[in-house]
Amino acid sequence: MLPLLAGLGLAGATFSGAQAQPTATAKTVAGRPATMPLLQPWSGPHGGIPPFDKVKVADFKPALEAAMAENMAEINAIASNPAAPTFENTIAAMERSGGTLDRVGTVYGIWGTSLNDAKFATVQAEMAPKMAAFSDQITQNAALFKRIEAVYNSMAASNLTAEQQRLTEVRYKAFVRAGAKLDAPAKARLSQINQQLAGLFNNFAQNVLADESDLTLVLKTEQEMSGLPTSLRDGAKAAADSRKVAAAGVITNTRSSVDPFLTYSDQRPLREKAWRMFTNRGDNGGAHDNNANITQILQLRAERAKLLGYKTHAHLRLDNTMAKTPEAAMELMEQVWTPAVARVHEEVADMQALAIKEGAPADFKIEPWDYAYYAEKVRKERYDLDQNEVKQYLQLEKMREGMFWMAGELFNFSFAPVTDVPVFHPDVRVWQVNDKTTGKQVGLWYFDPYARPGKKSGAWMNAYRNQERMDGKDITTIVSNNSNFVKGKPGEPVLISWSDATTLFHEFGHALHGLSSNVTYPGLAGTSVVRDYVEFPSQVLENWLPTPEVLNRFALHYQTGKPIPQALVDRINKASTFNEGFATTEFLASALIDMKLHLAGDQKIDPDKFERETLAQLGMPSELVMRHRTPQFNHVFASDGYSAGYYSYLWSVVLAADAFSAFTEGSGAYDKAVGERLRQNVFTVGNTVDPAAGYRAFRGRDPKIDALMKQRGFPMTSTAAATPAPTPMANETQELKDTKTKVKIKKGKRK
């Protein structure tokens, strides 16, 4: 049942699909044998695998309905148990329940993010409110909550293990936050709100997906491809061919396609078209406009927060995080906003001067569609650094091999490709992950790297099955990493940017978090931690991309096979703080708007107007926009997931910067002792310990913000120096260093 409860925190900060291990059998509630493959236990090799080769979209609705009925019967049996409540017959019994629904929900979620079409969208529109209502039936089950509460109140005298106490506490507090203590009328209204929100979330996501899938920039002639590097030309041509468009190339409406076009195209009118196409997703009027959805979502969230006893939705969402209050997150975000904006003005002045030097008129003004283009020119002129030159050493497959090697060194994992499992798309490949010492399997890793129609943009990690050791079983996890790289010519390597390579390592960090899990109960496994801690393991993993050990082995020229030269690495180092203002400001703008929208309470908000006026009050430079404008902000409006929580990337990066300094203070990035402490206290424990305690066990102290402030190149104000850690910071770039190499990188789009 956990996937359906994740939205209100009932599964911790769930970052994935299935969380609980499947039950041993899969029968419908009436006892009839389940004939649909979706309802069967996963069978086959590797402890059971998803039957992707047998999935039919038409089966999703009846399978979900049957699985929910089965799960409800399980829950009712727990709630009506005449025996006195104990951990075993209540909390553990809940962990054992819902296996069929977990399996069906996992596959359903994959189709929603990776194979979404009109037929599936129809199913989603119908099922989203039903699934929300089902979740409420569980959290509002008074008899069930009474039993949970009894176990919670008797923990001290029950001789429970530390992990059992943690699970009990997590479940109890999640039910309370979901309205378990409300009276009957309030519960009914809460359920109505959740069902309405589920429908609106689905509408929002479908609208963004429609604009991403349907809107393209067609490059009619070779002249319109002017300035583009060969790899981007090949990708644009491949996109045109796949869409059967008779043109020189097509720029699809995803960041992985638009960003490089804005960086290299010397056709300014086309840059503007591409920029407007991308930044106006969900904001074009008509059937796919999201503004009305946002207004309704904000109103319903505000009402729900009040029902649950919170001042605003932001206060509700941050109540069970490391930050604790939105005011704490806001104070620190605002603190760094001023130096970030000041840096933007410096960057714009440099670009403006270069543009005029190259012949632009004296009144030429840098516009948002010019920023990446002229920033790259300044980078070349000032640092002799061409990102396209760097890209020639970053082959997608070699970077994947580099991640595997790094995981072998830090986590003692080995990866072997397997072909005995079905996949949901021909692009998907699978590896078995083993412990190098024992040879024992620890999980499966699925890799879905390429963009396609019906797949949401960005990069993310999923868990198809969580690790567990309940009832003497030894269930290994199944995880995936998903990206949106643009395919080039068949047979030729896909070259990616430094930012894209960083994103690969980041998302792989989430996967390693899942693969490393070593807990008893699936509800506490892997990435099931609080929202502003879940990004820490992934962000700290980014630090290993620029290490010499990885670069010398895997950053190999796609033609010569030679490793990236030290002279080029040195130039990257020299330019380490370049474009810092842009990277910080575009991200912080999104985080601040997210928080301010949800601190506005029950005000009826016009999203476009609110965004425009708030950014003006903040002093947002006109030369750039939010990284995620409000009408396409899937993090915040396609679910409750990162709502009032986009700041969490910043909070986590403080931990990551401080954590990596433990390696640099030791013998370097591959210090075995430090690596083992990180693995044991962060990666293996899931949500079995308080995250602050886990961090202290690793680091020997609370985190400090000093290293990150220094890395960003921003002044350490007296306020910042006095602020207790952990402290969120203000951008998505991170300076990485070890004993030989120090590189500043810019993060790509996250889940």
Q: Is the pLDDT of residue 291 over 70?
A: yes
Residue-wise pLDDT tens digits, 70-115: 999 999 999 999 999 999 999 999 999 999 999 999 999 999 999 9
Max Cα distance, the chain (Å): 84
Q: Is the pLDDT of residue 723 over 50?
A: no
Among residues 693, 700, 709, the alpha carbon closest in space to that of 662 is found at: 700
Please tell me whether residues 138 and 260 are part of one structural domain.
no
Q: Is residue 460 part of a domain?
A: no
Please tell me whether residues 43 and 63 are part of one structural domain.
yes
**CATH code for the domain of 386:** 1.10.1370.10
Handedness of CA 514, 517, 521, 524 (dihedral sign): negative
**First and final C-alpha spacing in the chain:** 23
* Calculated CA dihedral for residues 237, 238, 244, 248, nearest 10 degrees: 0
Q: Is the pLDDT of residue 715 over 90?
A: no
| Collapsed DSSP state (helix, strand, coil) of residue 205 | helix
Mean pLDDT of all residues in 306-329: 94
Contacts of 665 (CB under 8 A, 6+ apart): none
Tokens 């928080």, residue located: 595
Any catalytic annotation for residue 389? no
Selected residue with higher pLDDT from 16 and 378: 378
Q: Which of 348-362, 554-568, 646-660, 699-713 has the lowest mean pLDDT?
A: 699-713
| Collapsed DSSP state (helix, strand, coil) of residue 393 | coil
| Collapsed DSSP state (helix, strand, coil) of residue 349 | helix
> How much is the pLDDT for 28?
45
Handedness of CA 14, 17, 23, 27 (dihedral sign): positive
Mean pLDDT of all residues in 246-250: 96
Among residues 150, 156, 129, the alpha carbon closest in space to that of 68 is found at: 129
Q: Say how far apart CA 744 and CA 468 lie, in whole Å.
A: 38
Residue-wise pLDDT tens digits, 483-492: 999 887 888 9
Q: What is the mean pLDDT of the chain?
A: 89
Q: How far is CA 550 from the centre of its chain?
A: 24
Please tell me whether residues 41 and 156 are part of one structural domain.
yes
Please tell me whether residues 269 and 378 are part of one structural domain.
no
Q: Say how far apart CA 167 and CA 721 lie, in whole Å.
A: 36
Selected residue with higher pLDDT from 689 and 711: 689
Number of domain units in the chain: 3
Please tell me whether residues 163 and 262 are part of one structural domain.
no
Please tell me whether residues 273 and 338 are part of one structural domain.
no
Q: Is the pLDDT of residue 561 over 50?
A: yes
Give the 3-state DSSP-derived string for 605-660, with helices as H, strands as E and coil as C: CCHHHHHHHHHHHHCCCCCCCCCCCHHHCHHHHCCCCCCCCCCHHHHHHHHHHHHH
> How much is the pLDDT for 717?
57
Please tell me whether residues 116 and 236 are part of one structural domain.
no
Phi, psi of 12, rounded to the nearest 5 degrees:
70, -145
Please tell me whether residues 334 and 238 are part of one structural domain.
no
**CATH code for the domain of 129:** 1.20.1050.40
> How much is the pLDDT for 332?
78
Identify residue 219 by its one-letter amino acid code.
L
Q: Is the pLDDT of residue 720 over 80?
A: no
Burial class (CB in 10 A: 0-12, 13-18, 19+), 115: middle
Q: Say how far apart CA 312 and CA 289 lie, in whole Å.
A: 26
Which residue of the set 95, 347, 507, 735 is catalytic?
Answer: 507
Which alpha helices (H) appear in 117-161, and where do they start and end? 118-139, 142-153
Q: Is residue 60 part of a domain?
A: yes
Q: Say how far apart CA 250 and CA 257 lie, in whole Å.
A: 9
Handedness of CA 190, 196, 199, 205 (dihedral sign): negative
Mean pLDDT of all residues in 350-377: 95
Please tell me whether residues 141 and 57 are part of one structural domain.
yes
Q: Is residue 493 part of a domain?
A: no
Among residues 9, 11, 5, 25, the alpha carbon closest in space to that of 522 is found at: 11
Q: Is residue 151 part of a domain?
A: yes
Q: Is the pLDDT of residue 132 over 70?
A: yes
CA-to-CA dists, residue 179 to 68, 136, 386, 660, angstroms: 20, 9, 55, 40
Q: Is residue 189 part of a domain?
A: no
Among residues 510, 512, 494, the alpha carbon closest in space to that of 415 is found at: 512
Angle of helix 118-139 relative to helix 184-214, nearest 10 degrees, comes to 160
Please tell me whether residues 45 and 142 are part of one structural domain.
yes
Which residues are bridge partners to 575 per DSSP?
none
Domain boundary among 280, 306, 322: 280
> How much is the pLDDT for 576?
76
Domain boundary among 138, 163, 181: 181
Q: Is 138 left (phi over 0), alpha (psi -120 to 50) or beta?
A: alpha
Q: Is residue 608 part of a domain?
A: yes
Q: Report the 10 Å Cβ neighbour count for 417.
A: 9
Q: Is residue 67 part of a domain?
A: yes
Q: Contact at 8 Å (CB) between 652 and 513?
A: no
Domain boundary among 245, 260, 280: 280
| Collapsed DSSP state (helix, strand, coil) of residue 200 | helix
> How much is the pLDDT for 14?
31
CA atoms within 13 A on the CB side of 214: 13
Selected residue with higher pLDDT from 453 and 509: 509
Q: Is residue 106 part of a domain?
A: yes
**pLDDT band, residue 587 (cuts 50/70/90):** very high
Number of H helices, E strands in the chain: 29, 9
Q: Say how far apart CA 256 and CA 253 lie, in whole Å.
A: 9
Identify residue 147 by its one-letter amino acid code.
R
Please tell me whether residues 105 and 73 are part of one structural domain.
yes
Please tell me whether residues 225 and 349 are part of one structural domain.
no
Give the residue numbers spanning the domain of 336. 290-390+579-644
Q: Is the pLDDT of residue 6 over 90?
A: no
Contacts of 280 (CB under 8 A, 6+ apart): 211, 629, 631
Cis ω on the peptide bond leading into residue 522 (within 30° of 0)?
no
